[in-house]
Structure 1
Amino acid sequence: MAKIIFITGASRGFGRIWAEAFLKRGDKVVATARNLDTLKPLSQQYGSAVLPLQLDVTDRKASFDAISKAKEHFGKIDVVINNAGYGLFGAIEETSEQEARDQFEANVFGLLWVTQAALPVMRAQGHGHIIQVSSILGIFTLPTLGIYNASKFAVEGLSETLATEVKGFGIDITLVEPNGFSTDWGGASAAHSKPLPEYDGIRAAFQEGATPDIFGVPEATVNAILQLVDTKNPPLRLFLGKVGLPAAKQQYAERLATWEEWADVANAAHGK
């Protein structure tokens, strides 16, 4: 049976690739983007199977209106994919107040507004699946991406909590955590803080580590997303790419070792 999929940030990158994959197999897609013109090719090719909507996810009212239009148009919403967002490159000290606020508005609050708008619809219909596009940088961090890291850590905490709150309503939550992929995430889609020369060395070391082999092929994610949407018991977390799991194992081994080393101090701090 065809599913109704609501995708934010469908103009390019993962959002566009996944929207087309769903449409090709016969699903119905509500595709949103800030610029409606970018969605015209989808409408021209797939006709009434796609509902294009202009949406800036940082506008809470607009997010609720978009979900309402989707429900009214297709009758239900089976899956919401919160894909809209962008990367902010810059050391913590380099980041301006506005840059930091804008990053959280898009990556955290935009996701929150769409999620809040979708939940009543899914509760009423007794089922739903909300897929939050996070990042491996919501599991561990990299230098010169501190505010982006922080936004994805926020998405992780928000979504993990949400999963415990809505499971009883028949709503599943999945955090999709891609490693780097060859999209324009680090190019035209990215924002950059004004650099300070003091961080040039850290920046150079980071760039040297970004070798081509660590970047995945975006189109290769399609089967994973289709399988995720179709499974009856979706996982809370799913890495996309081969970088996340070994890096996470190393990071968590180091964390556990530190906690164990300081366990006596931590226990004494309990007071009884």
Structure 2
Amino acid sequence: MSKTIFITGTSKGFGRIWTETFLEQGYKVAATARNLDTLQDLIHTYGEAILPIELDVNDRDACFKAVEKANEYFGSIDVIINNAGYGLFGAIEETTEKEARDQIETNVFGLLWVTQAVIPIMRKQGYGHIIQVSSVLGVVSPPVLGLYNASKFAVEAISESLSAEVKGFGISVTIVEPNSFGTEWSGTSAVHTEANPVYDEIKKAFFESFTEDSIGIPEATKNAILKLVNSPMPPLRMILGKVAYPWIKQTYEQRLAVWDEWKEISAEAHGK
């Protein structure tokens, strides 16, 4: 069955790959990007099936107008995919106020504005699926990406609460948690802090931990995303890639072990 999908950040990476995949399947797609020139080939190929929308997700009013435009054009929105975002690389101490605020503005507030805009539409329809692109780094938090990790932890919390709030309206929520993939996320799309040499060794060790086999192939996610948007009972969380699951499992085992070690002191602090 054909679906209508609204997706942000479609100029490159997952957004571009998934947009083209949906169009190939005969879906209707509202595709947002800061620069619509990046979508011209898709517009030429798929015509009225794609609605290109120029959008900076940091602009709340523009997010609401974009969602409304898509709803008016297609008559409904079945799925919304909050994909827009970028990575900020650098140690916590190195991060400027502007870099920190910009990271949270785009990755958290941009997602929040689009989500808020679509909820009334889906509630009125009585159905819908909100897909939030998070990261394995929304569950585990290695060094060098602290502010990015924080933004994805926030996406996880917002989306988990949202899931409980909108379930009764027939709206599903899924948090997609990719591990590292060979997109522009860590390349041309990334922002880097001004380096402090005291963190050189930590950064070196971090980047050397990524082997060729640990970095996924973006195009290989096509089947997974199609299965997700077509699932009658979509999961709250879905991992993309083979590295994320063992990393998350190990992290939670370590957390549980520490919490268990301190549980008597923790209980004592309750006071009664």
TM-score (norm 2): 0.99
Which amino acid is 1:185 matched to? W
Report Cα offsets for 1:216-257 as digits up to 9, x if no partner. Answer: 000000000000000110000000000111011100000000
User: Is 2:266 the partner of 1:263?
Assistant: no
Give the superposition deviation at 1:208: 1.1
Which secondary structure does the structure 1 equivalent of 2:156 belong to?
A: helix
Name the counterpart of 1:149: 149
Give the superposition deviation at 1:142: 1.4
Name the counterpart of 1:2: 2
TM-score (norm 1): 0.99
Where does 1:146-185 land on structure 2 (aligned, <5 Å)?
Answer: 146-185=146-185
Which secondary structure does the structure 2 equivalent of 1:108 belong to?
A: helix
Name the counterpart of 1:199: 199
In structure 2, distance between residues paired with 1:207 and 1:231: 36
User: Is 2:237 the partner of 1:237?
Assistant: yes
Give the superposition deviation at 1:263: 0.4
Report Cα offsets for 1:177-211 as digits up to 9, x if no partner. Answer: 00000111100000000000100010111111111
The runs of 5 or more residues in structure 2 that have no matched partner are none
In structure 1, distance between residues paired with 2:190 and 2:211: 19
Name the counterpart of 2:209: 209
User: Is 2:55 the partner of 1:55?
Assistant: yes
Which secondary structure does the structure 2 equivalent of 1:81 belong to?
A: strand
Which amino acid is 1:222 matched to? K
Report Cα offsets for 1:150-195 as digits up to 9, x if no partner. Answer: 0000000000000000000000000000000011110000000000
Where does 1:1-272 land on structure 2 (aligned, <5 Å)?
Answer: 1-272=1-272
Which secondary structure does the structure 2 equivalent of 1:51 belong to?
A: strand
Report Cα offsets for 1:65-112 as digits up to 9, x if no partner. Answer: 000000000000000000000000000000000000000010000000
**Moved segments of 4+, more than 6 Å:** none
The runs of 5 or more residues in structure 1 that have no matched partner are none
Which amino acid is 2:137 matched to? L
In structure 2, distance between residues paired with 1:55 and 1:251: 37
In structure 2, distance between residues paired with 1:98 and 1:75: 39
Which secondary structure does the structure 2 equivalent of 1:112 belong to?
A: helix
Give the superposition deviation at 1:130: 0.4
Which secondary structure does the structure 2 equivalent of 1:185 belong to?
A: helix
Give the superposition deviation at 1:139: 0.5
Which amino acid is 1:55 matched to? L
In structure 1, distance between residues paired with 2:137 and 2:20: 26
In structure 1, distance between residues paired with 2:41 and 2:130: 26
In structure 2, distance between residues paired with 1:42 and 1:124: 31
State the identity %.
64
